[in-house]
């Protein structure tokens, strides 16, 4: 059983897990007790804070992470997505260029491949901010732990 004191102290700063009881009086959260729905909810909360902190500390707006709702083709169910601004801009430019016959419409894999250099730079920026900000680094760790637990119980 993973008692995560660090998670509890970080989440007390974030205000997350407010609806969940702590293990005994030790201020520890036991993530194994969270349901998949509770895990997804907490992932959304921590992820939003992670992106907020990154965007605030990042000095290049093209690398900001933007979250938005979309409806996949052939579906009536909205989905949420968070992606770097440079991806959104490249997709929009490619669609416009293909409409005018100046470019072919790229599929997702081709679009991502064309942005490999920008993703490498995004990784460098995130690593630099993690090295500079313990809070950002801890958010990343908490997010990873929550996602790992969700993967564990979903398989």
CA distances to 28, 42, 89, 128, 143 from 147, in Å: 18, 10, 28, 22, 6
pLDDT by position in tens, the chain (length 155)? 333 344 444 454 444 444 444 444 445 667 888 999 999 999 999 999 999 999 999 999 999 999 999 898 899 999 999 999 999 999 999 999 999 888 899 999 999 999 999 999 999 999 999 999 999 999 999 999 999 999 999 88
Report the alpha-carbon distance of residue 28 to residue 87 in Å, rounded.
Answer: 39
pLDDT of amino acid 68: 92
Pick from 155, 147, 119: which is nearest to 47 by CA?
Answer: 147
Report the alpha-carbon distance of residue 69 to residue 76 in Å, rounded.
Answer: 12
Q: Could you give the residue ranges of the DSSP H alpha helices within the chain?
A: 5-14, 36-57, 85-99, 108-114, 116-132, 134-154
pLDDT of amino acid 27: 53
CA distances to 30, 62, 91, 101, 149 from 83, in Å: 30, 11, 11, 27, 23
Q: Are 107 and 91 in contact (CB under 8 A)?
A: no
pLDDT of amino acid 73: 86
pTM: 0.77
Collapse the DSSP code of 31 into the 3-class scheme (helix H, G, I; strand E, B; otherwise coil) and give the result: helix
pLDDT of amino acid 7: 46
């Amino acid at each position: 059983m993973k008692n995560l004191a660090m998670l509890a102290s970080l989440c007390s700063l974030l205000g997350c897990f407010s609806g969940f009881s702590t293990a005994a009086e030790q201020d520890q959260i036991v993530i194994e007790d969270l349901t998949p729905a509770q895990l997804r909810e907490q992932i959304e909360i921590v992820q939003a804070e992670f992106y907020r902190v990154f965007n605030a500390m990042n000095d290049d707006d093209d690398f900001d992470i933007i979250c938005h709702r979309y409806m996949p083709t052939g579906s009536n169910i909205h989905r949420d997505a968070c992606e770097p601004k440079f991806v959104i801009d490249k997709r929009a430019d490619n669609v416009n260029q293909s409409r005018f016959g100046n470019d072919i419409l790229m599929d997702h894999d081709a679009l991502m491949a064309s942005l490999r250099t920008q993703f490498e730079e995004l990784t460098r920026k995130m690593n630099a901010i993690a090295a500079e900000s313990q809070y950002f680094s801890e958010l990343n760790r908490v997010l990873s732990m929550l996602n790992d637990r969700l993967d564990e119980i979903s398989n």
